[in-house]
Amino acid sequence: MSSIAVVGTGYVGLTTAASMASLGHSVVGIDIDADKVAKLTAAEVPILEPGLTELVRDGLRQGHLRFSTDHAEAAHVEFVFLCLPTPPAEDGRADLTYLLDAARTLSPHLKADTVVINKSTVPVGSCARVQRELGRQDVFVVSNPEFLREGHAVQDCLQPDRLVIGSDDEAAAIRVFSLYRGVVTPLVVTDPATAELTKYAANAFLATKLSFVNSIAAICEEVGADIGDVVLGLGHDKRIGAEFLRPGPGWGGSCFPKDTRALDAIARDAGYDFTLLRETIAVNDEQKHRVVDKVRRLLDGPLEGARIAVWGLTFKAGTDDLRESPSLAVIAELVAAGADVHAHDPTVDPGTDLSRATGIAAVGPDALTIHKDALDAADGAQALVVMTEWDDYRWIDPAELVERMAAPGVVDTRNLLNRSSLARAGCRLLSTGRA
């Protein structure tokens, strides 16, 4: 088996390191955050991801996985994975500062013939830029983009839909493929530019699919159709497929928002007017406003002074990731309109300060209260908004919910709750894509 360094132990880096170790490779995870390294060494995983903690613990116990703050550890390996953040700049372009800084730091430590594998989501031409920053012609830079879904990352790493390897050197590509020995999946070997663009294209297509189904849901609400049955009819079409056809409050997370903006920037730089992608983004932004409009309909009046409960803060169930969460955008709009918001999420502690994340810091600390219990958040509420599809909410007794609320009305953005049960309990319900 091979020796590997993984630079960056965030979501992608830690999953990659633990997965490579589980395949029998000798892996060192490198991070500049000493506190994080100490916790990971003690098998304390800061990320909520099914199966990841167990994978890290197994790697540490078997001696296949360790962690360090020292980039010089890369001097002893055959492969280096770059798993650094590429946050969006103000113009939407991916900021490569962390990636290029890492390349410069690593350069003097790498031995000849080391393969540097870029897993970060980066614009076209980034492999070449990493090569220039390394300043090493005896080192190979290869693109191997990740296609991880939060909540399914371990599965996606060890049982991927495909492997995409972009390299100008055939031997280097073969060496990268050898790391995945035992993984049975389609292989796409191409040039670095194509591999880099493939990652952006995949995320942009999925975002477009979600915006499309949310637009169809809006039409359903106006014409009396049922989005659930429409989706069934669409999903059985093999040309379309059922994945990413679930309507909701809009997409968020660490990938789709930044990657769609980055691809739009790539298109602009290439001289192409990507109108479809910009409309996809615009539809997603509008979806959050639609949620707030439904709350106004429930209240049949202004939001100022109204007590509103919100169930779910993460951008989707199965993760503790709050980045670009539609829920936070909705809360910000509710608070800006003068509402008193009381929220719950099974992964967010009551003491968590979300004032900066929601943009409500200027309003005051009392504008948003996070509760430990979902029903406590609904106490005295004039409306409840279900934002994240946690199973915890699915099984709450509708009769008890109605009893706790001041006015029994629910905006269910995920169509999670049982309509019939709510109706029997005397609760008014505004669903997504249903009249």
Residues recognised as catalytic: 255
For residue 253, give the nearest of 171, 354, 327, 360 by alpha carbon: 327
> Tokens 């590429």 sit at which residue?
86
E-only strand ranges, 31-138: 65-68, 79-82, 115-118
The alpha carbon torsion through 116, 121, 125, 129 (nearest 10 deg) reads -50
For residue 434, give the nearest of 231, 237, 280, 285 by alpha carbon: 231
With beta carbons less than 8 A apart as the criterion, state whether 56 and 15 touch. no
Residues 167, 143: Cα–Cα separation, whole Å? 6
> Tokens 């980039």 sit at which residue?
71
With beta carbons less than 8 A apart as the criterion, state whether 89 and 95 touch. yes
Strand partners, 384: 309, 410
Helices (H), ranges, 236-354: 256-269, 275-299, 326-336
For residue 190, give the nearest of 166, 220, 208, 207 by alpha carbon: 166
